Amino acid sequence: MRARTFLLATALIVLRAPAGYGQTLNVDHYLPSRPENVTWGWFPVDARPALTVRSGETVRIDTLSHQGSTQDEDPVTFLGGLGVKPDEILKDVRDFWASKPGRSRADGRTGVHILTGPIAVQGAEPGDMLEVKILELRPRVPYGLNTPGMASSVLGAAYPGIRPGDRALDIPPTTRRLIRTGVVNGREVALFSDTIHVPLAPFMGTLAVAPKEGIQSSGPPGPYGGNLDLKALTVGSTLYLPVFQRGALFYVGDPHGAQGDGEVSGNALEQSLTGVFRFVLHKRTTIAGPRAETPTHYILMGIDRDLNRALRKATLEVVDFLVKEKKLTPANAFSLASIAVDFRIAEAVDDAQVVAGMVPKSLFMR
């Protein structure tokens, strides 16, 4: 993975209308999040492509948040109870909800996320690598949801450092927050309260290719990418994924308006987004799992059910990268990893934990 010149697109966020936003980039294709273009909770390896593109082409892709789209109540009733007006609810959300009864759920072994795709890339075969450049990300609605009570029943089982019965986190399981977004003093923010404004930093929690085999839930991430919840994957970043199926079969979803590292309540600011992506195919380029790049960092990832093992895997990936790409000895690479590389918990709540080793590009003179 060599240093590249990134296209830095300014994210124009339209916050006052759920539809009719203006496009800021010219694209080769557009894939709406209509019911026929999405899957629910898993990554089918043999699905008919919703779109086929050539290497180098760009696609605008609409995505839907599962919060507000997958509950038992219809979206107008459910979101209306939280203060959302009917004309603020995307037609895609209402149509997806209506399509739920006829949807395959892979015998129940699935997650909650709505995924747009798959997108096939011409010529992609197992053993290749898919480069996904993130050129633009913008909210489609002026609100998002966070449900801190969603995780209260599993605190201690999936959350490091928290034990069942911790009274400091005695949160009713039905607790949820609707958080409005808007512009304050020229900044796009989530209006958490009158005195707390969280800067918006939209990103897709899930970016994936079809896995090698089997039925894979959208919940835990893996070698195919998936639910990485890595907030660094915002505008200007690039994700690299190994290809396991012919065409690669790319899926995207779990859109977030903002998130802290760790995503400790089990969900972020869940907010439907639209994004522009460029797909570049690298033939006969093999990587074991996802890695990424931003204008300032190389990112190597460790994924495991155990957080300690995830950190170990991320460390080994960083050392391997420094040895192969920067020509360091293993001893020097390990030393540099300890004094100059940050290891961040991208998320620790989705059964498989993700640790991201952040290697600053500024370390290298050439």
The pair of structure tokens assigned to 279 is 């797909």
- Whether residues 239 and 333 share a domain: the answer is no
H/E stretch holding 295 reads none
Q: Residue 355 pLDDT more than 70?
A: yes
Q: Which residue has the higher pLDDT, 189 or 15?
A: 189
Residue 365 has pLDDT above 60, yes or no: yes
- Examine the domain organization and report whether 140 and 254 are in the same domain: yes
Is the peptide bond preceding residue 118 cis, with omega within 30 degrees of 0?
A: yes
Q: Are residues 271 and 346 in the same domain?
A: no
pLDDT digits (tens, 9 = 90+) for 305-343: 999 999 999 999 999 999 999 999 999 999 999 999 999
C-alpha torsion 136→140→145→151, nearest 10: -50
Residue 7 pLDDT more than 70?
no
Q: Is the domain of 137 the same as that of 230?
A: yes
Report residue 110's pLDDT band, with 50, 70 and 90 as the boundaries. confident
Neighbour tally for 94: CB within 10 Å: 15
19 against 207, higher pLDDT: 207
Average pLDDT of the segment spanning 171-179: 78
CA-based R_g, the chain, Å = 20
In a domain, 170, yes or no: no
- pLDDT > 80? residue 20: no
Amino acid identity of 273?
L
Question: Does the pLDDT of residue 153 top 90, yes or no?
Answer: no
How high is the pLDDT of residue 11? 30
Question: With pLDDT > 70 as the criterion, what percentage of the chain qualifies?
Answer: 86
Confidence of residue 109 (pLDDT cuts 50, 70, 90): confident
pLDDT at 176: 86
pTM strictly above 0.85: yes
Q: Which helix (H) or strand (E) holds 358?
A: strand 353-360
Please calculate the CA angle 343-344-349 and round it to the nearest 5 degrees.
135
What pLDDT sits at residue 329? 98
Predicted confidence (pLDDT) per residue in 29-87, tens digit = 999 999 999 999 999 999 999 999 999 999 999 999 999 999 999 999 999 999 999 99
Question: What is the band of 104 on the pLDDT scale with cuts at 50, 70, 90?
Answer: confident
The domain that contains 132 carries what CATH number?
2.60.120.580
The whole-number pLDDT of residue 19 equals 35
Average pLDDT for the chain: 89
pLDDT tens-digit series, residues 263-301: 988 899 999 999 999 999 999 999 999 999 999 999 999
**Could you say which of 233, 251, 280 is where a domain stops?**
280
In this structure, the answer to whether residues 308 and 238 fall within a common structural domain is no
Residue 140 falls within a domain, yes or no?
A: yes
Q: Which residues contact 366 (CB under 8 A, 6 or more apart)?
A: none
Q: Does residue 90 carry a pLDDT above 70?
A: yes
Is 35 within a domain? yes
Q: What is the DSSP letter of 268?
A: -
Count structural domains, the chain.
2
Last residue of a domain, one of 280, 314, 333: 280
What is the pLDDT at residue 364? 97
Residues 321 and 357 in one domain: yes
Mean pLDDT of 113-133: 98
Structural domain range at position 49: 29-145+201-280
- Length of the chain, please? 366
